Amino acid sequence: MKCLRFLLSFVCAAVLVFAQVGYVSAADANSKKLDVDQLAQKECLGCHVSVTPGIVKQHLDSPHANPKTEEEVRCHDCHGEKHKTMDDYAKAEMPTAATCGECHKEKFKEHRDGKHNLGWMVMKSQIAWHGQPGAITEQGYRGCSGCHKIGEKGLLGVTDGNMGALKSDGGKEASEYRYGNAQCDACHTRHTFKVSEAKDPRACSNCHMGFDHPQWEMYTSAKHGIIWGIEGHEEDARAPTCQSCHMMDGSHSVKTPWGFLALRIPTKENVLALIDVAPSLEEQLTKLASALPSGHYMDLDDDPQWTFDRALILQAAGVLDANLQPTERFVELVVQAQVARGPEEFNEIRTEMKANCNKCHSKGFVDSHMKASDEIIKAADHEFAKAIQAVQGLYRDDILKKPEGWKYAPDLLQYYDAKTMIEQELYLIMLEYRQRTFQGAFHASNDYMHWYGWAPLKTAVNTILEEEKRLRAEHEKGKEKQ
Residues 281-320 within binding reach of ligand HEC (CB under 6 A): none
Among positions 24, 34, 78, 155, the unique one binding ligand HEC when judged by CB under 6 A:
78
Helix (H, G, I), strand (E, B) or coil at 119: helix
Q: Which is nearer to ligand HEC, 253 or 392 (CB)?
A: 253
Binding status of residue 153 toward ligand HEC by CB under 6 A: no
| Contact by Cβ (8 Å): 441, 373 | yes
CB-based burial label for 164 (10 Å; 0-12, 13-18, 19+) = exposed
Binding status of residue 337 toward ligand HEC by CB under 6 A: yes
Between the alpha carbon of residue 100 and those of residues 54, 107, 121, 383, the distances in Å are 21, 9, 21, 46
Shortest distance (Å) from residue 156 CB to ligand HEC: 15
Give 147-184 as a DSSP string: HHTTSPTTEEE--SS-TT-EEE-TTHHHHT-SS---SG
Q: Which is nearer to ligand HEC, 192 or 420 (CB)?
A: 192
| Contact by Cβ (8 Å): 402, 333 | no
Whole-number Å distance between alpha carbons of 349 and 297: 12
| Contact by Cβ (8 Å): 219, 242 | yes
| Contact by Cβ (8 Å): 244, 424 | no
Shortest distance (Å) from residue 72 CB to ligand HEC: 7
What is the footprint of ligand HEC within residues 96-115 (CB under 6 A)?
97, 99-104, 107-108, 111, 115
Among positions 444, 447, 465, 475, the unique one binding ligand HEC when judged by CB under 6 A:
444
Shortest distance (Å) from residue 452 CB to ligand HEC: 13
| Contact by Cβ (8 Å): 291, 327 | no
For residues 346, 347, 350, 355, the Cα torsion angle rounded to the nearest 10 degrees is -160
What is the footprint of ligand HEC within residues 11-50 (CB under 6 A)?
43-45, 47-48
Q: Which is nearer to ligand HEC, 148 or 310 (CB)?
A: 148
Binding status of residue 213 toward ligand HEC by CB under 6 A: yes
Shortest distance (Å) from residue 189 CB to ligand HEC: 9
What is the footprint of ligand HEC within residues 225-264 (CB under 6 A)?
227, 238-243, 245-247, 250, 252, 254-261
Give 16-29 as a DSSP string: HHHHHHHHHHHHTT
Whole-number Å distance between alpha carbons of 325 and 287: 8
DSSP H/E element including 461: helix 455-481
Applying CB under 6 A, the span of 94-102, 155-163, 309-317, 450-458 interacting with ligand HEC comes to: 94-102
Among positions 94, 156, 163, 278, the unique one binding ligand HEC when judged by CB under 6 A:
94
| Contact by Cβ (8 Å): 316, 412 | yes
Binding status of residue 95 toward ligand HEC by CB under 6 A: yes
Among positions 350, 380, 452, 461, the unique one binding ligand HEC when judged by CB under 6 A:
350
Whole-number Å distance between alpha carbons of 269 and 255: 25
Residue among 146, 57, 152 nearest 97 (CA): 152
Shortest distance (Å) from residue 393 CB to ligand HEC: 27
Shortest distance (Å) from residue 295 CB to ligand HEC: 16
Whole-number Å distance between alpha carbons of 393 and 137: 33
What is the footprint of ligand HEC within residues 169-208 (CB under 6 A)?
179-188, 190-191, 193, 195, 198-199, 201, 203-204, 206-208
Burial string for 311-348 (b: 16+ CB within 10 Å, else e) reads: bbbbbbbbbbbeebebbebbbbbbbbbbbbbbbebbbe
Compute and round to an integer the Cα radius of gyration of the chain.
27
Shortest distance (Å) from residue 279 CB to ligand HEC: 33
Task: List the x/- string, 261-280, binding to ligand HEC by CB under 6 A.
Answer: x-------------------
Applying CB under 6 A, the span of 308-316, 390-398, 438-446, 454-462 interacting with ligand HEC comes to: 438-446
What is the footprint of ligand HEC within residues 372-431 (CB under 6 A)?
none
Binding status of residue 334 toward ligand HEC by CB under 6 A: no
Number of residues located near ligand HEC, criterion CB under 6 A = 120
Binding status of residue 57 toward ligand HEC by CB under 6 A: no
Among positions 24, 126, 310, 460, the unique one binding ligand HEC when judged by CB under 6 A:
126
Q: Which is nearer to ligand HEC, 262 or 471 (CB)?
A: 262
Q: Which is nearer to ligand HEC, 115 or 310 (CB)?
A: 115
Shortest distance (Å) from residue 307 CB to ligand HEC: 18
